[in-house]
A and B are shown apart, each in its own frame.
Chain A
Amino acid sequence: MATSVRATSDGDSTGWRSKLYRLDTKASPYAYIAPFFLCFAAFGLFPLIYTGWLSLNQVELGTGAQWVGFHNYAELWDNQFFWNALRNTFTLGLISTVPQLLMALGLAHLLNYKLRARGFFRVAVLAPYATSIAAASLVFVQLFNPDYGMINQLLGHLGVDPVQWSSSKWPAQIAISSIVTWRWTGYNALIYLAAMQAVSGDLYEAAALDGASRWRQFVSVTIPSIRPTIFFTIIVSTIGATQLFGEPLIYGGNSGSGGSAHQYQTLSLYMYDKGWQVGELGQASAVAWVMLLILLLIGAVQLFVLRNNRRKLGG
């Protein structure tokens, strides 16, 4: 449509210029997305496929590959540590993602109020996002230390016996998930806040006229209105939780074992352990591919739910 306008406005010099113009409109979208796809092909897709090929081989650090078919996967299936890591990834993901997003939702609601120092509160809750996994984990290791950590001292004042934050399973998992939750709650709260600010005030006025309390408005107006954003954060957090690596690694003192009894060994840690500490790259590649399949499965389910939801909302 634009091309025809162009051609008439510049009557005599049509020919190559309009052809060039058409080429420009046709080709330029591909030129703009090309950097992403080139980079992805080189540093994402190719390694991905290569890892898949490695997973069908027996490869040790520094040796050639030897074809073994699905042997690596079969071995994982029979390996209790793999299942343990899978369970831990699931429970750690659950106890770090669910409270994190719920708290973020509540926090966003509060930050949406007209308040004094609202700007300060918003910046303050985002501050943990500036820290790195390594720095945050190293500091939390100190706070959660069973012998001299501040958290046990605090619990002591409340009359609670010292908690074994590293050797017991659930305390250790709670400690690790608290690092994740601490770093990401404020960030998610701001994303929710963004969505909340776009909700039309008319809806609230109508609800208020119908006699809805603030809580009722939050549940019946705010939450449904920002549902797409909630789905977005659920997807992103799930992806992050499935790849949990740095926090449990550093919490366990740079070891891939995930605690004395593997009580917080995640799939990523198990993979690192297999690949770099045991040296079986083929097995590690198989773990990596299982992770990808799990993520794709979760992602597909979530996208399906999201699509359905959008359709229902008529968006």
Chain B
Amino acid sequence: MAQLTQPVAPAGSRPSTAARPARRRFRPRAGGAGKQQSGGPVAYLFLIVATLLSLFPLYWTVVAASHTDTDIVTPPTPLLPGSHLISNLRIVWDQVDMTTALVNSTIVAGCVAFSTVLFATLAGFAFAKLEFRGRNALLTVVVATMTIPPQLTVIPLYQIITDVGWVGHIQSVILPSLVAAFGVFFMRQFLSEALPVELVEAARVDGAHSMRIIWHVVFPVARPAMAVLGMLVFVQAWNDFFWPFIALNQQNPTVQVALAGLGSGDHTIDHAVVVTGALVATLPLLLVFAVLGRQIVGGITAGAVKN
């Protein structure tokens, strides 16, 4: 079963292309060479505009975070970085407990990403490749739960965590997010296409019990999708606002909650400091994107959310 340690088929490839060796970088699909037209100057123009629109607000966040409040609220708005970043950061740390916030966000996002990937892969595998009664109905339930707004569950959840004394503790943010319908759906879509059913059956015939199949067949095949899902869930958990805002407080915040605390309370609103806070909340993820961007994009474009 040595071949099982390699993904058998690149994400989402059709059966006809499954025999193709997987390559790491962006590659034209088999038979897709004919449509790989080269882009003309117009394509570049549009893409450059799109890139500028995407990146400018991020760039300007850095610019604004390095100026004083007065600089920002006096036209013309500065377009080049200034020299007040350090002093702004100092004010941010004075006003809210950013160190705790960063640690909390890392713990929350890490735990949520790990457990979501694990449970979503198991459930996605069951829905994609195993036969059981009620499979389609249960899958419909999973997809339907995606439509439930967090607003609908907030009031009772708050009562629960009050009863057990978890208000202000990060487990109140971790527990409700241990697994997500989106993740189950994502992994199901991936495994439906990327995991040949023969592989599971062959392992069965060899007498492997289901945990063995999971460990030696499903996980190796699912690894690229697990990595992408983990990344997406981490980003989402890091950026989550509504429930942490209600469940936590400024003594034990996540970065988003701390950020909300910057713009309110006893302090007069210093726009530069607020934007600096936004920068602190975003920077860790931007660094991850700068380093792993190609892998993340490669994972998403590998077609895990197709059909």
Query: Interface residues of B, CB < 8 Å — how many?
Result: 110
A-side interface mostly = helix
> Nearest-CB distance from A191 to chain B (Å)?
5
A148/B77 contact (C-beta < 8 A), A47-B156, A110-B47, A295-B149 known: yes
Contacting residues of chain B (56-88) with chain A, CB-CB under 8 angstroms:
57-58, 60-61, 64, 72-77
Contacting pair B151 A272 (CB below 8 A): yes
Complex: how many Å from CA A211 to CA B293?
A: 38
Interface hub of A32, A37, A123, A199 (most chain B Cβ within 10 A):
A32
Residues of A contacting B125 in the complex (Cβ-Cβ under 8 angstroms):
32
Contacting pair B147 A292 (CB below 8 A): yes
> Nearest-CB distance from A8 to chain B (Å)?
11
Residues of A contacting B58 in the complex (Cβ-Cβ under 8 angstroms):
127-128, 131
Residues of B contacting A129 in the complex (Cβ-Cβ under 8 angstroms):
235
Total inter-chain residue pairs, C-beta < 8 Å: 326
> Nearest-CB distance from A52 to chain B (Å)?
9
Contacting pair B51 A299 (CB below 8 A): no
Interface pick from A70-78, A79-87, A91-99, A200-208: A200-208
A residues whose Cβ falls under 8 Å from a Cβ of B? 2, 5-6, 9-10, 21, 24-26, 28-33, 35-37, 39-40, 43-44, 46-48, 50-51, 54, 103, 106-107, 110-115, 118-136, 138-140, 142-143, 145, 147-150, 153, 182, 185-187, 190-191, 193-195, 197-205, 208, 214, 228-229, 232, 236, 239, 242-243, 245-246, 250, 253-254, 268, 271-272, 275, 281, 284-285, 288-289, 291-292, 295-296, 299, 315
B residues whose Cβ falls under 8 Å from a Cβ of A? 12-14, 26, 29, 31-39, 43-44, 46-47, 50-51, 53-55, 57-58, 60-61, 64, 72-77, 119-120, 122-123, 125-127, 130-132, 135, 138, 142, 144-157, 160, 175-176, 178-179, 181, 184, 201, 204-205, 207, 209-210, 214, 235, 238-239, 241-242, 255-256, 259-260, 263-264, 271, 274-275, 277-279, 281-282, 285-286, 288-289, 293-294, 296-297, 300-307
